[in-house]
Structure 1
Amino acid sequence: MKVLVLGSGVVGVTSAWYLAQAGHEVVVVDRQPGPALETSFANAGEISPGYSSPWAGPGVPIKAIKWMLMHFGPLVVRPKFDPYMALWLLRMLRNCTSARYARNKARMVPIAEYSRDCLKALRSEVGIAYDERTQGTLQLFRTQSQYDGTAGDIEVLKQFGVPYELLDAAGCTGAEPALANVKGKFVGGLRLPGDETGDCQMFTEKLAALCTDAGVTFRFNTTITSINTSANRIASVSTETEELTADAYVIAFGSYSPFLLRRIGVHIPVYPVKGYSITAPIADKDAAPVSTVMDETYKVAITRLGDRIRAGGTAEISGYDLNLRDARRATLHHSVGDLFPGGGDLSKATFWTGLRPMTPDGPPIIGGGTKYSNLYLNTGHGTLGWTMSCGSGRVLADLVSGKSPDVDASPLNISRYG
């Protein structure tokens, strides 16, 4: 059948790839001139299934106050008169219990683990290269309390059979030799050897080219103006110049997904949480990370991407604001310079911001379940769009094709919100 995919970020393009592999005629529509030019453009680069955790958890409200008061704090809230922001925040607070955190994490880890397996299979099948590395992720703890607070996460890792290593300071330098230059600034870490890294934009661009070779049509520079319905089905999608029809429609617009859906009476609790990144050329490879280091104190991921260092972080709740703020750049510069001094040339770092499509409970929204039988959602991945992209695309393609996915997708359905 013919499937129209709205959105050409990493989630939209992986959806298109797996739909095409399933034998469907696929058309991808996006307002941008090419793929991966918004949230997928310069994310942190980590593919970390084991760190797939909801932001809403026990103790987070108190921690949030502390984070907002820190000089290089990882959280910023800019209140505004926006009922969607208020409702999203309230829903997130409701999920800040131990029971809901455990439930939500248990929904996130399987799709993330499956996604990494799908990515490995895809890489083996088509030979796609994207500055990838398969040397794990190290969550670095600067304080003993951070180190001691890993028990809950480790229990979930054990539950799903995720390999892990709880390291002391010496073990951390064994995994990341450049950290030997800053001994005394950390007490230990949690390493997930099965995690990977890679340039999300590079991957998406190359996969889009493979999609084209497989018969997928991309309609760039095309703005969607409305979704048109007929009874319990989507009838068409209108652009500024024409009307597009298909048998099935996939919404993969990230943070912008709610705008079009509200107009047809579909309300999803997705709200943008702004993130920032810097990308700097490596100045001294021996002083740079070999993979990804998560600076737990500042919530900054520092990743080696080829001959570059990418540092991404900050959660800024400010609506659809895309202004670049120097204070956020300072946080990223501080984290990189403090842990990997001399590793990257920060004077040449580029600065970027993007909007992460977050759900209040953490897991993405994948599948049907709306009042429209031919409408499918693949959005709400938050900071984990790159991590979950291949698995989400494969699951989505299976659901559209009427097949049972390899992982249970029912906990990710919109119906979980009632």
Structure 2
Amino acid sequence: MKIVVAGAGIIGVTTAYELVERGHQVTLLDSRSGAGLETSFANGGQLSASEVAPWAGPEVPWLVLRWLGRADAPFRLKLRADPEQWLWLLRFLTRCRASARAERVLPNLSLALLSRARMDEIAEKFDNDPLEFDEKRAGILQLFHHAASLKAASSGIARMSDAGLEQKVLTARECVELEPALGAAFASGAILGGIYCESDRSGDAHKYASQLADRAQRLGVAFVTGAEVTGFDTQGDQIKGVHTRAWTFDADAVVLAAGVGTPRLAKMAGARIPVYPLKGYSLTLPIDGDVLAPNVSMTDEARKIVVSRLGDRLRVAGTAEVSGYDAEIEMRRARSVLDATIGLLPQMKSAENGVEYWSGLRPMSSDGSPILGQAGRYRNLFLNTGHGSLGWTLASGSASVLADLIDGGMPRINLTPFDIRRFSFI
């Protein structure tokens, strides 16, 4: 089939690769000049099957009220005269229940574990020409400052273990034995304990997307940059072509995987989807050879940051902001991520003069799981979107099952939890 994939972030690139590997004629479109240049460009770097619970939970409304008015708040809400924002917030708030959060964990975990397996399968294919993306297989350590938070997080370990993911609870001293860079935080009493998932990984999503896009092109994908989708040719219940400003591409199937741009494209095709941008910040610090920088990727639950070592760089990401489509860097919020980094790892203060700040927009569904599969009145229109902060973690699995579905085969996991029809009041 001739298949057009709109969007060349980590989601679109993995989708194009899966489809071309199955023998399809694939065209990959993106308005930017290359792959992985938006949400995938400088994310937190974690491939975190252990952290797939949705953001929506019973504590969120209280935290939003507590942080109201703080420019440096980890979670900030900036209301706009935007009906889509208000509708998304309404849906999000209905999911701020413990039962709703628990409902999404195992489906997300199954997709994360499939992603891990699929990445390993792809790596084997390129064994003689490996993808170099600063991958580290040192696990992910979640750090806790409060006993109640650690107890609540520990309560879900058995359930995830039954589903195939092993984790263990560590004391504060064991956290430092695992990651000596936490010595100063331990000495100050800032760490109560942690949960460690040894099988989790980290890596540079932008490097991976760029290199996989190159491999996909070698297999026959036509990667067209500077191509903004402007509309669709339709006939009956099918899309027959995809318009850009300069060209029209014939299509037997269309996949929308354009991150926060996907709702606009879906609307052009007559479909509305509950995906809205959540703005986040990251920073990248150079690692001097004399600095004791972490090797294990970490999540600080109190400071709301994730930390990943990417070769000779340290990537730290944090904050969430529901504020529309503005990706401009607000220095006070960017600086709050640096302050949190130095609070956890004071030895990194020496590198702050070399810091690089970035902000990006995460395409977040209202229930914390991606939307995968056919959507709308056109039976050959497919969605691969709404991954939020889990795009890197879920990308390869999402692409694999969507390609199975387009091929008419049996996906490797149950896709019902990811079907758009779960949103009954769209």
Fold match by TM threshold 0.5: yes
Contact 1:123 1:129 in 2 (8 A): no
Amino acid at match of 1:243: T
Match of 2:397 among 391, 395, 404: 391
1:372 has 2:378 as partner: yes
Distance in 1 (CA, whole Å) between partners of 2:36 and 2:67 is: 30
Match of 2:117 in 1: 117
Deviations 1:140-163 (A, max 9, x none): 112222222214432432341211
- SS of structure 2 residue aligned to 1:276: strand
Provide the secondary structure at the position in 1 that maps to 2:156.
helix
- After superposition, residues 224-239 of structure 1 pair within 5 angstroms as 224-239=229-244
Partner of 2:220: 215
Question: Hey, what does 2:304 align to over in structure 1?
Answer: 299
Which residue of structure 1 lines up, in the alignment, with residue 351 of structure 2?
345
Aligned to 1:149, the other structure's residue is in SS state helix
Matched letter for residue 302 of structure 2: T
Name structure 2 gaps, 5 residues minimum.
none
Q: In 2, are the aligned partners of 1:254 and 1:356 still within 8 Å (CA)?
A: yes
Query: Alignment partner for residue 259 of structure 2, among 232, 254, 258?
Result: 254
> 1:71 Cα deviation (Å)?
7.6
Aligned-pair distance for 1:181? 2.3
Pairs within 5 Å for 1:180-329: 180-183=183-186, 184-284=189-289, 287-329=292-334
More displaced stretch, 277-286 vs 402-411: 277-286
Q: Does 1:360 align with 2:366?
A: yes
User: What's the counterpart of residue 93 of structure 2?
Assistant: 93
**Counterpart-to-counterpart distance in 2, 1:371 and 1:356:** 26
Q: 1:107 corresponds to which residue?
A: 107
Superposed CA offset, 1:367-390 (max 9, x none)? 114321111110000001100111
Structure-2 separation of matches of 1:285 and 1:111: 39
Deviation at 1:338, TM superposition (A): 1.4
Partner of 1:161: 164
Shift of 1:296: 0.7
Counterpart contact for 1:6–1:253, Cα < 8 Å: yes
Comparing 363-372 and 81-90, the one that deviates more: 363-372
Unaligned runs of at least 5 residues, structure 1: none
Residues 6 and 30 in structure 2, CA contact (< 8 A), matched pair in contact too: yes
The one-letter code matched in structure 1 to 2:340 is S
Residues 232-280 of structure 1: CA deviation (Å, up to 9, x unaligned): 1112111111211111100001111011211222000000000110001
The 8 Å contact of residues 197 and 292 in structure 1, kept in 2 or not, is answered as yes
- Aligned residue identity for 2:245: E
SS at match of 1:415: helix
1:59 positional shift: 2.4
Distance in 1 between residues matched to 2:341 and 2:247, nearest whole Å: 48
Partner of 1:31: 31
Moved more, 312-321 or 361-370: 361-370
Separation (CA, whole Å) in 1 of partners of 2:180 and 2:68: 32
- Separation in structure 1 between the aligned mates of residue 292 and residue 143 of structure 2, nearest angstrom: 16
Residue 130, structure 1, aligned to residue 133, structure 2: yes
Match of 2:115, SS state, is helix
In terms of mean alpha carbon deviation, does 322-331 or 18-27 score higher? 322-331
CA distance in 2, matches of 1:37, 1:302: 20
- In the other structure, the counterpart of 2:146 is 143
Partner amino acid, structure 2, of 1:161: G
- Aligned partners of 1:393, 1:197: CA distance in 2, in Å? 19
Cα distance change, pair 70–169 in 1 and its aligned pair in 2 (3 A): farther
Q: Name the CA distance, whole Å, in 2 between partners of 1:122 and 1:373.
A: 29
The structural deviation recorded for 1:346 is 1.5
For residues 202 and 311 of structure 1, the distance between their equivalents in structure 2, rounded to whole angstroms, comes to 17
Aligned letter for 1:397? A
Please say which of residues 127-136 and 69-78 is displaced more in the overlay: 69-78
Q: Contact 1:11–1:393 (CA<8 Å) still a contact in 2? A: yes
Matching residue of 2:182: 179
CA RMSD of aligned residues (A): 1.5
Contact 1:248-1:374 within 8 A present in 2 as well: yes
TM-score when normalising by structure 1? 0.97
**For 1:174-217, what per-residue CA distance to the aligned partner results, in whole angstroms no more than 9, with x for missing partners?**
22111112211111111111100000000111101101111111
- Aligned partner of 1:46 in structure 2 is 46
Letter in 1 for 2:168: E
Q: Who is 2:73 aligned against? A: 73
| Contact 1:229–1:236 (Cα < 8 Å) also in 2 | yes
Greater shift after overlay, 339-348 or 323-332? 339-348
Give the deviation of 1:340 after TM superposition.
1.5
Q: Out of 385, 410, 416, which is 2:416 matched to?
A: 410
Aligned residue type for 1:150: A
> 1:294 aligns to what SS in structure 2?
strand
